[in-house]
A and B are shown apart, each in its own frame.
Chain A
């Protein structure tokens, strides 16, 4: 028995399939993934990190601001479920945050403070290699065994989507795609700073301006951030148009 509805799950897989043949933007894809996984559960937020070539995890996407902060706390404190799932390559499920102070002395209290009561994390795997991890921050409800398998399956499909190849035989392809994905996240942060300064807003608001502009002009997020970082004097005026 699973708590995830079959219809919802089917819809998510269809949307994934659509994304993968469409014009592809890695950050938007990961953003969509976190939101859809969150949507499978009654009360949950989801965050995702990828590792670079030196095994340093980097924040990539989150279903909402609270999940983004939870991911950033884990990086800052160097403890938390995402880090455990990444290091062990195994899912971390149904951890009661109130009882997790020993396991994650710095992360657990912050997550509890933010209103979360349970947490789960899943490794993002490509065969034997672990390339990142996805955390689910939730309420009191437990993930059933079947749910765990569903989320891990979604995570595995996401890796294939991220790497844009169904059978990745070439080791160099993984390096190219992962490095490209990590760089596009950095470019977004730099673009946020540029727009924040130009518009006198905080970087988070700048991100909303960039995203809204991309949507209303029917452009990819990476396309808009690429324009912003490549022509600084012009980007001061860009989002005012």
Chain B
């Protein structure tokens, strides 16, 4: 695990819990949003879960007003967050008065009414395996320094791992940092993801969940599991768990 991830995990761990926090993934994401809002800093942060098939919804926000603000993109069907998800890259708008009205007329007007001037949307994804978006809102217009963009992207990395853990049968925390252990073999992990998706007829995200669950239950490094798949020593069948 690298220093950037460690720092962000510490910020999330230090974030005080609230009585309204649910357990598990939702609670962790709520603390992640609050920690990100405090550290970047931002007026508010939200995480939405989205699927290719169109299923979408707000998963967590840093504070009550942002529930509705995060929901805006879905209600209006436009906004930087939806564009970030569709284009698979961050959409960073430091000043909503600067050309944004043409891109997202409805969204810009609505977000202005909430007093917000900047939106930074970071897709939660591993390549084509897309899970949602992390949105950062600020009342002041203006860019973030490079180091803060990097930090926001690291919060997004942790959100991805948290969402994957939530889907995993092995339970939360399983192989939590496994994705980081495979640095030298990352290409193989992504190839294995594609192969397993085809073997099981599931999405790329589900394929990654299965790979991680296998690594966890067999107590094998994720990189080794990926290599076994690409070299065809290991095949996933739909009838095996």
Contact = CB atoms under 8 A, between A and B. Distances in A.
B43 interface: no
In terms of DSSP, what is the predominant structure of the interface of chain B? Answer: helix
Interface residues of B, number: 45
A193 interface: yes
Contacts, number: 136
A59 B185 CA distance: 10
Contacts of A203: 191, 195, 230
Nearest to B185: A76
Given A72-B184, A171-B146, A230 B90 contact: no
Nearest to B126: A186
B145 interface: yes
B68 interface: no
A236 interface: yes
B153 A179 contact: yes
B76 interface: no
Interface stretch (A14-22, A50-58, A87-95, A152-160): A50-58
Contacts of B69: none
A58 B187 CA distance: 9
B149 interface: yes
A213 to B, nearest CB: 16
B4 A54 contact: yes
B198 interface: yes
B194 A176 contact: no
B54 interface: no
B127 to A, nearest CB: 3
B129 interface: yes
A27 to B, nearest CB: 13
A197 to B, nearest CB: 4
A165 to B, nearest CB: 14
A193 B143 contact: no
A193 B127 contact: no
Considering the complex of A and B, which 8 residue pairs feature the smallest CB-CB distances, nearest first?
A193-B194, A76-B184, A186-B127, A189-B190, A172-B92, A229-B128, A180-B89, A197-B198
